[in-house]
Structure 1
Amino acid sequence: MFGLGPFEMMVIGVVAVVLFGANLPEVARQAGGMYREFRGRLNEVQREFRAAEYEATKAFNMDSNTNSSTDEDDDEPSEPSAPKFTPPS
């Protein structure tokens, strides 16, 4: 986890107990609440970006469809003009 070995995790745990002592459960609960709130707001921002992306894609596709109907008089053929390959007998 995070590239930390068991010894480093143990040192972090000892430092946390020394710093917070009896308040460690309350500190962990507050940290969990802040993390939950952060994830909720991050999900909300992601939803907004996805909605904006969907609207932009929808508008782009509508523009592409209207432009393609007016460009039918192009000189380029819709199928390739090269002859089909026939293997020698």
Structure 2
Amino acid sequence: MFDVGLGEMAVLVVLALVIFGDKLPQVAGQAGRMLRQFREMANSAKSDLQQGLGPEFKDFDIADLNPKTFVRKHLFEDDDGPLSNGRLFDDDPPYVTSPGGLAYGERPPFDAEAT
């Protein structure tokens, strides 16, 4: 999870026992309550945001604001977008003519008017 190995975890457990001693169950209970309160606050803020945005954003997810998730969702997983079949318009030729790329020795297409 946090790139902590078994030996490191054992050292942390022993260190916690030494530092907190007999108060360890109380500290663990307080930490659990604090995490539960944070989770409730985050869920409350998320629901307030969704209510404030209105019904047109009912499927909005906070995780969509993460740049990695946004790029993955909108660029790589969009099967019904305009370039899903390799064409911008239905009468255009496909942008990718062969799925394997160029054959050995084959020259790429060149447009003299584009330069």
TM-score where L is the length of structure 1: 0.58
Q: Which runs of 5+ in 2 are unaligned?
A: 58-90, 92-115
Q: 1:23 — aligned with what? A: 23
1:11 corresponds to:
11
Report the Cα distance in structure 1 between the residues aligned to 2:54 and 2:4, rounded to whole angstroms: 40
| Superposed CA offset, 1:12-41 (max 9, x none) | 111100000000001000110111111101
Offset, 1:8: 1.0
Q: 1:53 and 1:2 mapped to 2: Cα distance?
A: 35
Distance, in Å, in 2 between the alignment partners of 1:46 and 1:39 is 11
TM-score normalised to the size of structure 2?
Answer: 0.46
Q: Deviations over 1:53-87 (max 9, x none)?
A: 235x47xxxxxxxxxxxxxxxxxxxxxxx8xxxxx
Matching residue's letter, 2:35: Y
Higher RCO (C-alpha 8 Å, min separation 6): 1
What is the correspondence of 1:2-81 to structure 2 with a 5 Å cutoff?
2-54=2-54, 57=56
The alignment covers a number of residue pairs equal to 59
Aligned partners of 1:44, 1:35: CA distance in 2, in Å? 14
Query: Where do 4+ consecutive residues of structure 1 move more than 4 Å?
Result: none
Deviation at 1:48, TM superposition (A): 0.9
